[in-house]
């Protein structure tokens, strides 16, 4: 791994929590990249809410429970993991550090947790896998393109590269409005490209015989190579890119098509209601990922942690796993989500801060910090196993005042 940047410089003290990593990353990134990574949509009401909602939840610790040996390991989609944490997909990680997606993937592999690679990564599915020696658990986040042949090709490449699940993002038919990207005229810095769209080195795996896909593929490829430099959509170059190429006509029914082309388990990312959780269930998905996209899409939605329980309730009695991201910054946040029924949680920005701080090593530090914090939170609250954190370990703001059941 490249080590082109130092750890904390003299004026930066060593980070002791994720906020410290954020502060250091804020100073090091260019204005445009920092704006892109940190922004939420519009007035960032939901961005603030993602954090504040965690702070409103109170813990109800139990004591004189043997917490000498607590159980952090669990399984995700049948794979053993060292703790219930996934790294969320975030686009264009090489803007943070040359280690980019490979750095995140290796840090996750070493920690024994899944990494989710974005469709809009600056390292290809093939290269990420090769750089990890084919080891580690990786999921592929899928954006669907107007031309289904492009989506098909992405899925086949992810399969061939050994990715173990498709994470279909459903909250982005088009891009949310992010003020910083508009002000900064954001586009991908020169020298980087959206690597999953580079021309395949070998013969194309494209399988939709009979359709002429070359023009559409070429357009996507050129845009990816040019770093989405098209600012014709007044909202931003990213917005122009998604409007032009993303399939805004996708419906729940489209999951049938996805299932017809792959045997990989499908995880639906971006669910915020019981209604959509039930529609996902009807499509036979393996997992539902509660997310508001780090509050970057529709502003004014609830914090994810506040809708988790309705989704969990809607899927009760099924084998569908529920994950959550949005504002996870502390071990106690993880514990709160587990108490509400999440099988695992995920985070996006903290991995980018770790990457900015010190490449792959910085991501490892961030992951280790979360593991240590989760372990501490469990010991201090009497929770012994991540798979069976009781609901009454927490008090939600909407819970009725305590009445003795004793
Ligand atoms: C810079 C950035 C880029 C993102 N890119 C993607 C993406 O390519 N695909 C996707 O499904 N979600 C993407 N997301 C959303 C994340 O997967 C995740 O839902 C969000 O970051 C969780 O919130 P957190 O950052 O507070 O942990 C992105 C988020 C950020 C901050
Ligand atoms: C270009 C975007 C679609 C990537 C993304 O998901 C995001 O920036 O939140």
CB distance 205 to 153 below 8 Å: yes
Answer yes or no: is 37 a known binding residue. Answer: no
In a domain, 284, yes or no: yes
- The CATH number for 318's domain is 3.20.20.70
144 lines ligand 1 (CB under 6 A): no
Q: Model-level pTM? A: 0.94
Q: Which of 170, 95, 173 is nearest to 353 (CA)?
A: 95
Residue 194, SS3?
A: coil
From 89, 180, 291, 347, mutation site for ligand 1 pocket: most ligand atoms within 8 A of C-beta: 89
CB-based pocket (< 6 A), ligand 2: 91, 120, 172, 175, 238, 242, 293, 296
What pLDDT score was predicted for residue 216? Answer: 72
Residue 214: Cβ within 10 Å count: 11
In angstroms, the CA 339 to CA 383 distance is 10
Nearest CA to ligand 1 atom 21: 348
What pLDDT score was predicted for residue 212? Answer: 44
In a domain, 56, yes or no: yes
In angstroms, the CA 8 to CA 15 distance is 8
Question: What is the residue-averaged pLDDT of the chain?
Answer: 93
**More confident: 210 or 115:** 115
Which atom of ligand 1 lies at the shortest distance from residue 270's CA?
A: 19
- Residue 204's pLDDT band, with cuts at 50, 70 and 90, is very low
In angstroms, the CA 318 to CA 95 distance is 40
In angstroms, the CA 130 to CA 140 distance is 15
Nearest CA to ligand 2 atom 7: 91
**Residue 364: both structure tokens together:** 């490892």
332 lines ligand 1 (CB under 6 A): no
From 238, 241, 292, 346, mutation site for ligand 2 pocket: most ligand atoms within 8 A of C-beta: 238
In angstroms, the CA 180 to CA 336 distance is 32
Query: 350-386: per-residue pLDDT in tens?
Result: 999 999 999 999 999 999 999 999 999 999 999 999 9
What 8-state DSSP symbol labels residue 107? H
Does the complex come out with an ipTM higher than 0.90? yes
In a domain, 219, yes or no: no
From 175, 237, 270, mutation site for ligand 2 pocket: most ligand atoms within 8 A of C-beta: 175
CB distance 274 to 290 below 8 Å: no
Q: What is the dihedral of CA 384, 386, 390, 391, to 10 degrees?
A: 150
Find the helix or strand (DSSP H, E) in which 36 lies.
Answer: helix 31-38
CB distance 176 to 155 below 8 Å: no
Does residue 293 have an active-site annotation?
yes
- Residue 6's pLDDT band, with cuts at 50, 70 and 90, is low
Residue 308 domain boundaries? 18-178+248-390
**Nearest ligand, measured from the Cα of 87:** 1
Ligand 1 center to 139 CA (angstroms): 14
120 lines ligand 1 (CB under 6 A): yes
What b-and-e string marks burial along 254-272, b requiring 16 or more CB atoms within 10 Å of the CB?
Answer: bbeebbeebebbbbbbbbb
Nearest CA to ligand 1 atom 28: 90
In a domain, 9, yes or no: no
In angstroms, the CA 122 to CA 142 distance is 15
In angstroms, the CA 312 to CA 317 distance is 10
Q: Which of 396, 392, 176, 400 is nearest to 308 (CA)?
A: 396
Query: 254-305: per-residue pLDDT in tens?
Result: 999 999 999 999 999 999 999 999 999 999 999 999 999 999 999 999 999 9
Cα-to-chain-centroid distance, residue 165: 13
In a domain, 32, yes or no: yes
In a domain, 405, yes or no: no
Ligand 2 center to 248 CA (angstroms): 14
What 8-state DSSP symbol labels residue 71? B
**Nearest ligand, measured from the Cα of 178:** 2
In angstroms, the CA 108 to CA 99 distance is 13
In angstroms, the CA 334 to CA 378 distance is 10
In a domain, 30, yes or no: yes
Answer yes or no: is 169 a known binding residue. Answer: yes
Ligand 1 center to 152 CA (angstroms): 23
Number of domains in the chain: 1
Q: Which residue has the tokens 């372990």?
A: 375
Ligand 1 center to 328 CA (angstroms): 12
In angstroms, the CA 328 to CA 303 distance is 11
What pLDDT score was predicted for residue 202? Answer: 41
In angstroms, the CA 282 to CA 288 distance is 12
**Nearest ligand, measured from the Cα of 48:** 1
Answer yes or no: is 388 a known binding residue. Answer: no
79 beta partners: 76
In angstroms, the CA 397 to CA 364 distance is 34
Nearest CA to ligand 2 atom 8: 91
Rg, Å, the chain Cα set: 21
In a domain, 269, yes or no: yes
Query: 53-91: per-residue pLDDT in tens?
Result: 999 999 999 999 999 999 999 999 999 999 999 999 999
What pLDDT score was predicted for residue 9? Answer: 66
What are the backbone dihedrals phi and psi of residue 38, each rounded to the nearest 5 degrees, phi first? -90, -20
Percentage of residues of the chain with pLDDT beyond 90: 84
């Amino acid at each position: 791994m490249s080590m082109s940047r130092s750890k904390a410089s003299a004026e930066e003290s060593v980070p002791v929590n994720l906020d410290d990593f954020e502060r250091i990353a804020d100073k090091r990134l260019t204005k445009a990249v920092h704006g892109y990574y940190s922004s939420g949509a519009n007035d960032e009401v939901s961005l603030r809410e993602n954090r504040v909602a965690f702070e409103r939840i109170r813990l109800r610790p139990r004591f004189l429970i043997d917490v000498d040996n607590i159980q952090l390991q669990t399984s995700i989609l049948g794979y053993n993991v060292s703790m219930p944490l996934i790294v969320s997909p975030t686009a264009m990680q090489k803007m943070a550090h040359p280690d980019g997606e490979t750095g995140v993937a290796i840090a996750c592999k070493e920690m024994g947790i899944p990494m989710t690679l974005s469709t809009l990564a600056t390292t290809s599915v093939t290269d990420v896998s090769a750089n990890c020696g084919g080891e580690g658990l990786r999921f592929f986040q899928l954006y669907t393109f107007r031309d289904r042949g492009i989506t098909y090709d992405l899925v086949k490449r992810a399969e061939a590269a050994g990715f173990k699940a498709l994470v279909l993002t459903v909250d982005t038919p088009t891009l949310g409005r992010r003020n910083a990207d508009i002000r900064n005229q954001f586009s991908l810095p020169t020298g980087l490209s959206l690597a999953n769209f580079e021309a395949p080195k070998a013969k194309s795996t494209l399988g939709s015989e009979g359709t002429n896909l070359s023009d559409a593929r070429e357009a996507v490829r050129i845009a990816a190579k040019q770093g989405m430099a098209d600012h014709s959509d007044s909202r931003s170059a990213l917005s122009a890119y998604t409007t032009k190429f993303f399939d805004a006509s996708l419906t729940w029914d489209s999951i049938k098509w996805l299932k017809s082309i792959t045997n990989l388990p499908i995880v639906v990312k971006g669910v915020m209601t019981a209604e959509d959780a039930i529609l996902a269930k009807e499509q036979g998905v393996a997992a539902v990922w509660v997310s508001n996209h780090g509050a970057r899409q529709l502003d004014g939605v609830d914090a994810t942690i506040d809708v988790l329980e309705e989704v969990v309730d809607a899927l009760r009695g099924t084998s569908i796993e529920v994950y959550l991201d949005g504002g996870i910054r502390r071990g106690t946040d993880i514990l709160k989500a587990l108490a509400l029924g999440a099988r695992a949680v995920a985070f996006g920005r903290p991995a980018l801060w770790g990457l900015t701080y010190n490449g792959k090593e910085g991501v490892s530090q961030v992951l280790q910090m979360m593991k240590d914090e989760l372990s501490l939170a469990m010991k201090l609250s009497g929770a012994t196993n991540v798979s069976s954190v009781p609901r009454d370990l927490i008090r939600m703001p909407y819970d009725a005042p305590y009445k003795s059941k004793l």
